[in-house]
Chains A and B, each alone.
Chain A
Amino acid sequence: MSDERPLLQVRNVGHRYGDWLGCRDVSFDLWPGEVLAIVGESGSGKSTLLNTLSQRLDTSEGSIRYRLDGGDVVDLADLSESAVRRLWRSEWGFVHQNAADGLRMHVSAGGNVGEPLMANGWRHYGRIRAAATDWLERVEIPRDRVDDTPAAFSGGMRQRLQIARNLVVSPRLVFMDEPTSGLDVSVQARLLDLIRSLVSDLGLAMIIVTHDLAVARLISHRTLVMKDGHVIESGLTDRVLDDPQAPYTQLLVSSILQG
Chain B
Amino acid sequence: MNPDQIEYNIGYLDEQTKRMIRRVLLKAVAIPGFQVPFASREVPLPRGWGTGGVQLTAAVIGADDTLKVIDQGADDTTNAVSIRAFFHKVAGAATTTRTEDATIIQTRHRIPEASLTYGQIMVYQVPIPEPLRFLEPRETETRRMHALNEYGLMYVKLYEDIARYGHIAKTYDYPVLVNHRYLMAPSPTPSFDNPKLHQSQALHIYGAGREKRIYAIPPYTDVESLGFDDFPFEPQHFDQPCAICGSTGVYLDEIITDDAGGVMYACSDTYHCERTAARLNEEIPA
Contacts and interface: CB of A to CB of B under 8 A. Distances in A.
B228 A124 contact: yes
A43 B113 CA distance: 65
A192 interface: no
Contact of B152 (A81, A107, A115, A146): A115
B152 A118 contact: yes
Contacts of B163: 108, 110-111, 129, 146-147
Contacts of A125: 159, 162, 228-231
Interface in A102-127: 104, 107-108, 110-111, 114-116, 118-121, 123-126
A126 B156 contact: no
Nearest to A132: B159
Contacts of A115: 152-153, 156
A124 B148 contact: no
Contacts of A129: 159, 163
B47 to A, nearest CB: 28
A82 interface: yes
Interface residues of B, number: 16
B42 interface: no
B164 A119 contact: no
A183 to B, nearest CB: 27
Nearest to A121: B152
A251 to B, nearest CB: 43
B228 A82 contact: no
Interface of B: 144, 148, 150, 152-153, 155-156, 159-160, 162-164, 228-231
16 contacts: A82-B148, A108-B163, A111-B160, A114-B156, A116-B152, A119-B152, A119-B153, A121-B152, A123-B155, A125-B159, A125-B162, A125-B228, A125-B230, A128-B228, A146-B163, A147-B164
Interface of A: 81-82, 85, 104, 107-108, 110-111, 114-116, 118-121, 123-126, 128-129, 146-147
